[in-house]
Structure 1
Amino acid sequence: MTVEDCEAYKDFLKGPVASFVGPKRSRASGRWRPFTPEGLSADSQAYAVRAIRAAFAWLTTVRYLAGNPWSAVTDPATVTKEVSVQVDRALTADLWVLVRRALDQRCGDQLLNETPEQVRQWRTARAAILLMGDSGLRREEAANAGRQDLRSIRHVASAGFAKKAGEGGAAQVEIWALSVVGKRRRQRTVPVSAATVRALRAHWIDRGENFDAAQDDAPLIAPLVIPATLTARAKHGNKDGDRGEDPTEVQSDGDDRARAKKAYAPDALARLVRQGMKQLAGELLREGVLSHDAHAQLLDTSAHAFRHTFGTRAVARDMPIDVVQRVLGHASLQTTSIYVRAERQRMLDAAAQYYSEDGG
């Protein structure tokens, strides 16, 4: 490969020939193509060039190649953007309280139109939502969290905390901490609220497992029902999955719950949360306790929105910004500071509305 070949490949990435372009398909499909009609963005083109350059650099290092032609090739031009975090998707404090209250109602058999299976699914969704909303986890981190990574710590709080809590002297409190591995394979420890632990315990009871005597490899959150697809049933140990069943059906018998020992895939956990939020939004709107704006926001609420919810709430409740950064696992404090700016903007908006209504 020559430098001219590399430049030609850069041109190809910018405008691939028609035979390489097609609509999104499964990779197992004979109609799959590597490029969509929209093509690659400039950032994606630059990433591809860097990846190939790195591969050739390694081949040169191990002396498989005599030289790296990509070292003489510049990256495609890109625009350096501001750090983009969709903080506006975070739930407001009032909406977060409303969602948690509604989840508790559906998890406590208080709705007569819910079947026992539906209530168990609500308890699974609640455990996932609280884990992300109270600890700031990404959906991959919540899906991969294991019981062996969650532990209880007896912490002797400072005198200032004890005074604020109305206790004399140092106060001993129980804190749950979860060790997770996030982006760039970085391990960090995040606090887990007592409400989240209670939700997890309820979910484990539904699974028929003992939360306090769990196996080391047990996931914190696992599916209670398994879709009848071959892939899902093979993952969860069902060798009789090929039974000619409708793949859209959901199995909910006791044997399936006993087999559900493996964790959710991140996409599956995110789908459970999104579907739960859409159903919750419709029910709360019909009950008249949700505005149309809040209804629209809940319909668009993804699993990642609860991570933003934690970030904005933590800043609003005066958690030190460096602590928020460590809990969220941000590599840069600049990313975390976006939550500070968002909270300041929310405060100014509220003040502007207050003074306009007050006539001042």
Structure 2
Amino acid sequence: MANLPQTITRVRGYTRVDFTALRAFVQRVPAAAIARLYFRPDENGEDPSPAWVEQYLRRMQAELVELAIEHGSSVLADHLRASTRKHGSARLTAVTLKMVEQAAELAIAAPSADHSVGMWFRPMVSQRLRSVGIGTLGDLVAYCNRRGGSWWRGVPRIGIGRAQHIVRWLRRHEDSIGVTVEQDVDLADPFRAGELVLVYAGRQVLAPLERMDIPPALSGIDGVNRARSFPYIAARHDLDAVRAYLHQFRDQPKTLRAYTKELERFLLWTVCVREKALSSLLVDDCEAYKDFLAAPTESFVGPRAPRSSGRWRPFASTELSADTRRYAVRALRAAFAWLVDIRYLDGNPWKAVKDPVVIDREFRIDVGRALPSPLWMTLRQHIDGSASRPDASFWRTLRALMLLMGDSGLRREEAATARRDALRRATMVDAGLPPLWELTVIGKRKKERTVSVSPETVEALRAHWLDRGRDFDEPGVAGPLIAPVSIPRTPQALRKHRVATDGPVVPDVGQPYSVDVLNQLIERARARLLVEMEALEEEDRAKLASLSPHVFRHTFGTELAAANVAPDIIQHALGHASLGTTTIYVHTERRRMHAELGRVYARRTVQTTEQDG
């Protein structure tokens, strides 16, 4: 059977029999035996000579090696070149021959949408793509099309240079892959740096507030609601007035971000949909926008994208909750009230608009996402066991961050800004307790509070600081508690850490992680933990799949409540302004209600059973 003709499915017309013969040749089987076992007589009935077989197989081997050097891994290529220099031709073993065959076959294979990214990209690149859920070439094209030209920013350690190479490769093979990278997946900024974008009805491009320009007819220069008395701000038009309003929140980044989002959405709607100036709007216009919030049009909705991208859209979903819509109405009412107070507008049409009806929920904060205590301990043990891995510094950073939030109840902003010089040993009242540390942080509403820090957290911080090349216990040491161990060689990272493009890439010791990067760390960890922790029950996997920085804080609050810690202590530890917020973690009333009703139901069941008997 081995001598029967085989379908040619391999490299450059070689058959399966040829490859079987080559394996025998590499294993030093005599050429005469190979000729007898694997080659048929020619058209004249002549058996192939051992010399011809040896020459044929050597030529085949040389061609495969050449393809493997060109298309295989760099390690394999270096090995083959070194062997050729030493022996005149590459010496192969059974293992290296298999690698050569795979590389050569890949050289002439056609990429397909269902091919794994590991088939076509180097292991390091494919590993980073898989970390964000990109398993196949089809997944990669969909990811690029969904996120646009800045898709690479969502993939760890994929810079713009490598992203350009990947996109060019995908476009070169789009016929065989069967899916196309959209034309607007352009890695360049769609707008020239510093250029304002004119927005108006009928134009497809929407721009965020900082890049927005409005035609004179809709700018509000002659708005019918413009105040005629002396204004307190030098605003030529509505955009100037809105920017003046937002400027007062420059020291409150979260508030500024929230209000900017609401006002730029409203401005875009007034110009592109209502085709009126903001300073000419009446009550019915405001009512129309309230209805628009319930169902934004498709042109205003799109996946999250950088504000510099042409794919940026003001809404990420067509379904806004009643709470979100009420927040928008109240934010706009407050902005218009300020514009009236500083005499830019004559009146506030939002005063006549009622808030959207919302359900007054029993608990406004969802603590159901807190990790159950057994899962919390399992997760800690798994991360503790990652210290010996090649990427141990990532897990040590994660462990320090996780314990700061999960053992001290810090918010993610507080963890990002926490500093070593604000951490000190606590004065213990009870000598029988383990030593604690205390950390002073600036929380919401710029309120300062001091929280306890566990010995385990301090040990995790020591290990993280050692990765950063710093001594945690050095007298007078200062700096952020959590900071990058290394930085990618991207323009944004180099600028942030003030590193010259041609110099050593060393993180700035005084530069902490941003809140967004902390979120990315948790996202990366979540994806990897779901793969590694295979033995988890489905319920625990679902909990782990929703892991976020705030989950650790909720876990801390529920653990304190379960330990019967007094509510006022929990309130201070979590930095709640109201004790009512803290009581979401303390379910004594609910437990008592369940207990009392349970006894009623039990008595009723017993009475029914006795009557039936």
Question: What is the TM-score with the length of structure 1 in the denominator?
Answer: 0.75
Q: 1:94 Cα deviation (Å)?
A: 2.5
The aligned residue for residue 333 of structure 2 is 53
The aligned residue for residue 574 of structure 2 is 328
The aligned residue for residue 42 of structure 1 is 322
Q: Residue 75 of structure 1 aligns to which amino acid in structure 2?
A: D
Q: 1:278 Cα deviation (Å)?
A: 4.1
Distance 1:32 1:152 in 2: 47
- Evaluate the alpha carbon distance shift between residue 200 and residue 29 of structure 1 in structure 2; reply closer, same or farther with a 3 A threshold: same
SS of 1:179's partner is strand
Check conservation: 1:137, 1:328, Cα contact below 8 A.
Answer: yes
Q: 1:24 Cα deviation (Å)?
A: 4.0
The aligned residue for residue 497 of structure 2 is 236
- Evaluate the alpha carbon distance shift between residue 64 and residue 324 of structure 1 in structure 2; reply closer, same or farther with a 3 A threshold: same
Q: 1:196 Cα deviation (Å)?
A: 0.5
Distance 1:296 1:66 in 2: 53
Q: Which moved more, 1:54-63 or 1:292-301?
A: 292-301
SS of 2:462's partner is helix
Check conservation: 2:412, 2:549, Cα contact below 8 A.
Answer: yes
Distance 2:417 2:364 in 1: 25
Q: 1:310 Cα deviation (Å)?
A: 0.9
Q: 1:216 Cα deviation (Å)?
A: 7.2
- Evaluate the alpha carbon distance shift between residue 306 and residue 214 of structure 1 in structure 2; reply closer, same or farther with a 3 A threshold: farther
The aligned residue for residue 303 of structure 1 is 549
Given candidates 128, 151, 157, the residue that maps to 2:401 is 128
Q: Residue 270 of structure 1 aligns to which amino acid in structure 2?
A: N
Q: Percent identity?
A: 49
Check conservation: 1:151, 1:176, Cα contact below 8 A.
Answer: yes
Given candidates 192, 198, 202, the residue that maps to 2:453 is 192
The aligned residue for residue 559 of structure 2 is 313
Q: Is the counterpart of residue 176 in structure 1 residue 437 in structure 2?
A: yes
Q: 1:191 Cα deviation (Å)?
A: 0.8
- Cα displacement string for residues 230-268 of structure 1 (whole angstroms, at most 9, x for unaligned residues): 222321222318x9xxxxxxxxxxx44443541112222
The aligned residue for residue 150 of structure 1 is 423
SS of 1:56's partner is helix
- Evaluate the alpha carbon distance shift between residue 220 and residue 52 of structure 1 in structure 2; reply closer, same or farther with a 3 A threshold: same
Q: Is the counterpart of residue 119 in structure 1 residue 368 in structure 2?
A: no
- Evaluate the alpha carbon distance shift between residue 50 and residue 292 of structure 1 in structure 2; reply closer, same or farther with a 3 A threshold: closer
Greater Rg by CA: 2
- Evaluate the alpha carbon distance shift between residue 278 and residue 10 of structure 1 in structure 2; reply closer, same or farther with a 3 A threshold: closer
The aligned residue for residue 517 of structure 2 is 268
Q: Which moved more, 1:2-11 or 1:41-50?
A: 2-11
Distance 1:283 1:14 in 2: 41
Aligned Cα RMSD in Å?
Answer: 3.1
Check conservation: 1:278, 1:298, Cα contact below 8 A.
Answer: no
Distance 2:405 2:575 in 1: 13
Given candidates 344, 365, 368, the residue that maps to 1:64 is 344
Q: Which moved more, 1:292-301 or 1:125-134?
A: 292-301
- Cα displacement string for residues 11-64 of structure 1 (whole angstroms, at most 9, x for unaligned residues): 443444554444543322223332345153332222222112212222222333
Q: 1:292 Cα deviation (Å)?
A: 4.7
The aligned residue for residue 89 of structure 1 is 369
Q: 1:328 Cα deviation (Å)?
A: 1.0
The aligned residue for residue 468 of structure 2 is 207
SS of 1:227's partner is coil
Distance 1:331 1:101 in 2: 34
- Evaluate the alpha carbon distance shift between residue 218 and residue 25 of structure 1 in structure 2; reply closer, same or farther with a 3 A threshold: same
Check conservation: 1:225, 1:260, Cα contact below 8 A.
Answer: no
Distance 1:55 1:101 in 2: 50
Q: 1:224 Cα deviation (Å)?
A: 0.9
Question: What is the TM-score with the length of structure 2 in the denominator?
Answer: 0.46
Distance 2:341 2:569 in 1: 40
> How many pairs align?
314
Distance 1:281 1:10 in 2: 41
Q: 1:87 Cα deviation (Å)?
A: 2.7
Q: 1:327 Cα deviation (Å)?
A: 0.8
Check conservation: 1:312, 1:343, Cα contact below 8 A.
Answer: no
SS of 1:336's partner is helix
Q: 1:200 Cα deviation (Å)?
A: 0.5
Distance 1:308 1:55 in 2: 33
Distance 2:290 2:428 in 1: 56
Check conservation: 2:489, 2:505, Cα contact below 8 A.
Answer: no
The aligned residue for residue 251 of structure 1 is none
SS of 2:460's partner is helix
The aligned residue for residue 139 of structure 1 is 412
SS of 2:425's partner is strand
- Evaluate the alpha carbon distance shift between residue 139 and residue 342 of structure 1 in structure 2; reply closer, same or farther with a 3 A threshold: farther
The aligned residue for residue 356 of structure 1 is none
Distance 2:352 2:578 in 1: 31
Q: Which moved more, 1:92-101 or 1:5-14?
A: 5-14
Q: Which moved more, 1:53-62 or 1:27-36?
A: 27-36
- Evaluate the alpha carbon distance shift between residue 343 and residue 196 of structure 1 in structure 2; reply closer, same or farther with a 3 A threshold: farther
- Evaluate the alpha carbon distance shift between residue 58 and residue 80 of structure 1 in structure 2; reply closer, same or farther with a 3 A threshold: same
